[in-house]
Structure 1
Amino acid sequence: MRRRHAPRTTTLPPAAAPAAPPPEPAPAPPEQMAPPEPVTPPAARLPVTDPDELEREAGVARLFELHYSSMLRLAVLLGADDPENVVAEAYYQIYRRWRKLKDVAAAEAYLRSTVCNLTRMRIRHLQVARRLSENPPDETVASAENTALLRDDQRVLIDALQQLPTRQREALVLRHWLGLKESEIAAAMGITCGSVKTHTSRGIAALTQAMEARR
């Protein structure tokens, strides 16, 4: 009789457990950001103080205080119809050229010369304009300031002075009204000392003759 064998049972290995998911990476620590640089407020803008510019402004202002009245009187006596504008232009020109001047004395001499030149140019311009004009020029109305300046002098003398040639009038005004030396007059008029003597002598002779004729 056959021995019955018990049926073989195949033992399966236990099922492998599902693999655990890989661990999630730990969150990176927040990046260490550098603190913002402090914002420096812009410096207050101060006006530029140029020593040369300050010196020029102070020098011209001082020159204005000392010589404006005499320069205005000079322009009036030389026959300028708008002496205030002539003197204002002279101060503007000396302001522009201040750095080229050596000292205050040179600035005063340049100012006188500029007033003379500007007045001479103004008179020539008026003479040309009057010759080209068909109608006679209207009589110039003197400003109150001009009238006040002329009241100090004899009107007859001033009228006679205005009738002199330009160079003779300049020489007499610079010599006898401003009391300048011949060298200073020569510098102001742009001529030689010998020419100053000539214009002064001829001017006195012409002025004397004109005054005698008015008596």
Structure 2
Amino acid sequence: MIVNHEEFRTYVQSRGAALLRVANQLTGNPSDAEDLLQTALARTYLAWDRIRDRSSLDGYVRRAMVNINISWWRRRKLEEYPSEEIPDIPVQQDARHRYDELEQALDRLPARQRTAIVLRYYEDMTEPEIARTLGISVGTVKSSVSRGMAKLRGDLVVPDARKRVN
């Protein structure tokens, strides 16, 4: 295996931050995102000499992250347990709280919907690009994004609207 170390290093330096954002959206946890990206880049490094089209590197790494993340989900044991009492959650109006709500709402989506939304709106990929990256049809991408956005809209209701009873 002959790998151009400098070319790989340059790629990681130039695209690392953007790829880390995708990894963070896929995992919802910064430390898991770093592990996911590192694992995907290690696999990319091992396949570096087989990747002929350097313009498709981002897609290769994103696809690797999706596949690795799915493998991790399958291995993960139940980490949350049912409880008799639901804790009260204070309502906060600051921007960080809204961002956290969005992150939590994304975490509640099924994997395909979350991945499609992250690639569409965070990575600004087109539907055909997402379809190629995930190995699914454009129609499946459209329905996944549409259903996911509908769930997000229902999940992210303005706090005052939750109190109204008609």
TM-score category, normalised to shorter length: 0.7 to 0.9
Q: Which runs of 5+ in 1 are unaligned?
A: 1-49, 137-150
**Aligned match for 2:123, one of 152, 157, 178:** 178
1:161-200 to structure 2, matched below 5 A, reads 161-200=106-145
| Contact persistence 1:182–1:193 (CA under 8 A) | yes
For 1:110, the equivalent position in structure 2 comes to 60
How far 1:213 sits from its partner (Å)?
7.4
Q: Distance in 2 between matches of 1:80 and 1:210?
A: 17
* 1:74 counterpart letter in structure 2: V
Task: Determine helix, strand or coil for the equivalent of 1:179.
Answer: coil
Deviation at 1:76, TM superposition (A): 1.4
Q: Give the unaligned 5+ runs of structure 2.
A: 82-95
- Letter of the 2:134 partner, please give it: M
**How many Å separate the matches in 1 of 2:123 and 2:39?**
20
Does 2:15 correspond to 1:61? Answer: no
Alignment equivalent of 1:130, drawn from 78, 81, 106: 78
After the TM superposition, which residues 36-75 of structure 1 pair with which residues of structure 2 at under 5 Å, given as runs? 52-53=2-3, 56-75=4-23
2:120 and 2:155 map into 1 onto residues whose CA distance is 19
CA offset digits 1:83-108 (Å, max 9, x no partner): 11111111111111112112221222
Change (3 A) 1:80 1:124: farther
Query: 1: distance between equivalents of 2:122 and 2:157?
Result: 21
Q: Does 1:94 align with 2:38?
A: no
> CA-to-partner distance for each residue in 1:172-204, whole Å, 9 max, x for gaps?
000001101112211222212111111011111
Q: Which amino acid aligns with 2:41?
A: Y
Equivalenced residues, count:
144
Aligned residue number for residue 90 of structure 2 = none
Find the structure with the greater CA-based Rg. Answer: 1
Report the Cα distance in structure 2 between the residues aligned to 1:162 and 1:78, rounded to whole angstroms: 8
Q: Which moved more, 1:59-68 or 1:194-203?
A: 59-68
SS of residue in 2 equivalent to 1:93: helix
Higher helix share: 2
**Separation of aligned partners in 1, 2:25 and 2:49:** 30
Aligned sequence identity (%): 29
Match of 1:83 in 2: 33
The structure-2 alpha-carbon separation of the partners of 1:59 and 1:187, relative to structure 1 and needing over 3 Å to count, comes to farther
**Higher RCO (CA 8 Å, separation ≥ 6 residues):** 2
For residues 20 and 106 of structure 2, the distance between their equivalents in structure 1, rounded to whole angstroms, comes to 17
Match of 2:69 among 114, 119, 123: 119
TM-score normalised to the size of structure 2? 0.77
Kindly report the root-mean-square deviation, in angstroms, between the aligned alpha carbons of the 2 structures: 2.4
TM-score, normalised with respect to structure 1: 0.60
